[in-house]
Copies of this chain bind each other. A is one copy, B any other.
Amino acid sequence: MTKPLRLGIAGLGTVGAGVVKIVQTHADLLASRTGRRVTISAVSARSKSRDRGVDLSAYAWEDDPVALAKRDDVDVFVELMGGEDGPAKAATEAAIAAGKDVVTANKAMLAIHGQALAETAEAKGACLRFEAAVAGGIPAIKALTESLAGNEITRVMGVMNGTCNYILTRMQDAGLDYQTVFAEAEALGYLEADPTLDVGGIDAGHKLALLASIAYGTQVNFAAMSIEGIERITIEDIEQAADMGYRIKLLGVAQMTGRGLETRMSPCLVPATSPLGQLENATNMIVLEGDSVGQIVLRGAGAGEGPTASAVLSDVLDLARGTRVSTFGRPAGDLVAARAAVSTAPAPFYIRFALVDKPGALAKIATVLGDAGISIDRMRQYGHEDTTAPVLIVTHKTTRSTLDEALSAMDSTGVLAGAPVAIRIEEV
């Protein structure tokens, strides 16, 4: 048997401890599958004394992850600290500089610095892999990079933040409003320290940026993404969507259009009977579409110790088998800086607004939409609540930019109480 593949693991939170457990409990299984033993040489974390439920006594301890990354007895640096800069980035760069392969679960670091890191890794002949950074245990990166490599990718979609999906399905199931369920989720510890990362769509946006880069051969460009969170979704939106046969999901979509690469993370209406519509609680789903393969749907746990550790092991065991794939699926130098297109793909939209109680108010809104060339598929006006009446409109297909102009014009009519809410209806 070949000599062992020796890991250095930085970050011993839930996922790090999970990786240690798998390496310890499945040592023979991993060796029989890869022809090579996988061992741990050294570990690093903020607190040496904390009990993590795993025996670390056989491994060297490094207080400094950069020192860990450079150790001679480490073949693969496993970065599980998180954070887009700071120690995670410093240690990853140190490992690459030392010619070591890197496996990371760090979506934020890669979404911001992925291109530079991939270029450096290739210059040093090192592999930089990140299956665990996107959708936990779901093999999204491998499926897109390897299984669908014979396809021109036509669209990538996904529900990639379990907390947001939990909040939206809990609102629907229990008929609760956003604030109540948000507070529940916070109490349950489901939210990041900065909840905007979750409910603001940023965490999911990081993941989509990585998928888009692989799908279209483009340099990862998180800054160009259009991002909208779930904070403005009301229980009324959810119930109205359900009445019309839809569910509301925080959906990421990446597609190459004639005018550039469109990447957006936003609440969308999807058919209730579709796999995306049926996705409940914290489960994740990735939908990959290619010109030959059609639509492939991948579903599973998007977070948690076991699923994320399983994804880390997927990359580690690839390296043990000698599999070496470019970070974003092709040489970093070949990735192009794609023109970012804003919402050029037309879609129907759901619009909600409150109309003030004035004669001709609805006519003004209908005129604005008509003038913008937006035709109405369905409309409902409800009875007045105090001095305003809720109105829902489903439009025929239009572009987001046309719609935004119309929304702005609607605002200027003086017949709306508050800004209108618009949610895209995605064909899935």
List residues of chain A with CB under 8 Å of any chain B CB.
18, 22, 26, 29-30, 32-35, 131, 137-139, 142-143, 146-152, 217, 273, 275, 278, 290-301, 304-307, 309-314, 316-318, 321-326, 329-331, 334
- Give min CB distance, A156 to chain B, whole Å: 14
Of the candidates B139, B152, B306, B309, the one whose C-beta lies within 8 Å of that of A147 is: B139
Among A296, A317, A318, A324: residue with most chain B CB under 10 A: A296
Contact B33 A296 (CB under 8 A): no
B residues near A35, Cβ cutoff 8 Å: 326, 330-331
B residues near A296, Cβ cutoff 8 Å: 137-139, 298-300
**A321-B325, A330-B32 in contact; A292/B149 too (CB < 8 A)?**
no
State how many copies of this chain the complex holds.
Answer: 2
Query: What residue in chain B is nearest A298 (Cβ atoms)?
Result: B298
B residues near A147, Cβ cutoff 8 Å: 131, 139, 142, 310-311, 314
B residues near A330, Cβ cutoff 8 Å: 32-33, 35
When chains A and B are docked, how far (Å) is the Cα of A324 from the Cα of B143?
17
When chains A and B are docked, how far (Å) is the Cα of A321 from the Cα of B324?
8
Contact B317 A293 (CB under 8 A): no
Contact B318 A146 (CB under 8 A): yes
Of the candidates B22, B152, B293, B323, the one whose C-beta lies within 8 Å of that of A292 is: B22
B residues near A309, Cβ cutoff 8 Å: 150, 292
B residues near A312, Cβ cutoff 8 Å: 150
Of the candidates B33, B151, B292, B300, the one whose C-beta lies within 8 Å of that of A329 is: B33
B residues near A273, Cβ cutoff 8 Å: 278
Contact B306 A292 (CB under 8 A): yes
When chains A and B are docked, how far (Å) is the Cα of A275 from the Cα of B285?
12
Q: Please provide the 5 A-B residue pairs with the shortest distance between their CB atoms, ordered closest to farther.
A: A150-B313, A139-B147, A292-B306, A293-B310, A137-B293
When chains A and B are docked, how far (Å) is the Cα of A148 from the Cα of B315?
10
When chains A and B are docked, how far (Å) is the Cα of A316 from the Cα of B312?
25
Contacts A142-B147, A150-B310, A273-B278 known; 18 new A-B pairs at CB < 8 A: A18-B292, A26-B150, A26-B152, A35-B326, A35-B330, A137-B293, A139-B296, A146-B314, A146-B323, A151-B310, A151-B313, A275-B275, A290-B310, A291-B306, A295-B301, A321-B323, A322-B322, A322-B324
- Give min CB distance, A119 to chain B, whole Å: 15
When chains A and B are docked, how far (Å) is the Cα of A278 from the Cα of B277?
12
